[in-house]
């Protein structure tokens, strides 16, 4: 899917680029599956993809360690020591495998140098978010970080977006939101009047392209660096 052929945004009113974090700045699904594989290797049985699917169950937190507990119970290898070891492996290997997309840091750095505010709005807990942003080298370019435990709500609730806008003293039309989830990022931010850029490169949902026209993002990105094109700045070599 190609970038929408629309005119560049006017920087006259745009003062902030607000990014989702996981799968928008780096491939978090890859990091989690790598961690799941390490757990399976450690316990000597099971399947990494099956374990990963436990994290995707409705009503279960995407980072909740109870997913690990349930899995090792279901395959019959639970013990408290095994559970503790698996949780440690999960956190260590997940963070180790987090790497920014090739153009993520240069793009954010250039946006910052253009005088724009850079914010992150994520459903991750602030403790985890800070570790991942430090690991990827993004944190030093940020003006603000908003996490679920800070905003008091999670996407797609409008409240989490409104909290960030109010904290930064911004109107929606002054902000471009970049995210990989049509349902959780694009639909709510667009409904509030923010510009929206759908990070198609990071969306890991199989039905993405069937749903994108319904969500109607203002722009579609195949690479994070294309944000610069929207602002009239091409990629620097």
C-alpha 56: how far from its chain's center? Answer: 15
Pairing relation of β-strands 117-121 and 175-179? unpaired
Q: Is 166 helix (H, G, I), strand (E, B) or coil?
A: helix
For residue 168, how many C-alpha atoms fall within 13 Å in the half-sphere facing its CB? 27
50-90 pLDDT tens trace: 999 999 998 888 999 999 999 999 999 999 999 999 999 99
The residue assigned the tokens 């990494």 is: 48
Q: How would residue 11 be classed by pLDDT, with cut points 50, 70 and 90?
A: low
Residue 3 pLDDT class (50, 70, 90 cuts): very low
Distance separating alpha carbons of residues 161 and 188, to the nearest angstrom: 8
CA–CA distances in Å: residue 71 to residues 44, 67, 87, 150, 182 = 14, 6, 12, 30, 29
What is the rounded distance in angstroms from the CA atom of residue 46 to the CA atom of residue 51?
8
Q: What angle do CA 177, 169, 101 make, to 5 degrees?
A: 30
What contacts 145, CB < 8 A, 6 or more positions away? 119, 120, 122, 126, 129, 130, 133, 139
Q: Is the pLDDT of residue 137 over 90?
A: yes
The mean pLDDT of 201-228, rounded to a whole number, is: 80
Residue 95 CA from chain centroid, whole number: 14
pLDDT the model gives residue 150: 97
In angstroms, the first-to-last Cα distance of the chain is 24
- Cα(83)–Cα(100) distance, integer angstroms: 29
Quote the pLDDT of residue 157.
Answer: 97
Q: Measured between alpha carbons, how far is 32 from 55 in angstroms, rounded to an integer?
A: 9
Task: Give the C-alpha separation, 70 to 75, whole Å.
Answer: 9
pTM: 0.91
- How many other C-beta atoms can be found within 10 angstroms of the C-beta atom of residue 11? 13
**SS3 at position 191:** helix
pLDDT for 2 equals 39
Higher pLDDT, 147 or 6: 147
Edge-to-edge strand ranges of the sheet holding 219-221: 144-146, 117-121, 16-19, 175-179, 195-199, 219-221
User: Are the beta carbons of 68 and 86 closer than 8 angstroms?
Assistant: yes
The mean pLDDT value for 36-56 works out to 97
Per-residue pLDDT band for 205 (boundaries 50, 70, 90) equals confident
| Confidence at residue 8, expressed as pLDDT on a 0 to 100 scale | 60
Banded pLDDT at 211 (limits 50, 70, 90): low
């Amino acid at each position: 899917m190609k970038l929408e052929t629309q005119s560049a945004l006017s920087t006259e009113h745009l003062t902030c680029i607000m990014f989702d974090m996981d799968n928008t700045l780096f491939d978090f699904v890859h990091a989690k599956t790598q961690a799941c594989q390490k757990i399976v290797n450690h316990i000597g049985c099971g399947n990494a993809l099956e374990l990963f699917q436990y994290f995707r169950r409705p009503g279960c937190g995407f980072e909740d360690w109870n997913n690990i507990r349930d899995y090792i119970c279901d395959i019959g290898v639970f013990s408290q020591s095994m559970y503790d070891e698996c949780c440690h492996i999960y956190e260590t290997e997940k963070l180790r495998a987090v790497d920014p997309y090739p153009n993520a840091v240069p793009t954010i750095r250039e946006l910052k140098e253009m005088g724009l505010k850079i914010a992150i709005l994520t459903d991750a807990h602030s403790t985890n978010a800070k570790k991942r942003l430090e690991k990827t080298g993004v944190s030093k370019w940020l003006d603000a970080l908003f996490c679920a435990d800070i905003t008091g709500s999670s996407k797609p609730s409008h409240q989490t977006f409104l909290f960030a806008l109010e904290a930064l003293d911004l109107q929606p039309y002054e902000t471009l939101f970049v995210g990989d989830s049509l349902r959780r990022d694009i639909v709510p931010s667009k409904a509030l009047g923010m510009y929206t850029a759908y990070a198609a490169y990071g969306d890991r949902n199989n039905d993405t392209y069937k749903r994108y026209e319904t969500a109607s993002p203002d722009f579609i990105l195949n690479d994070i660096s294309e944000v610069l094109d929207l602002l009239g700045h091409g990629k620097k070599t």
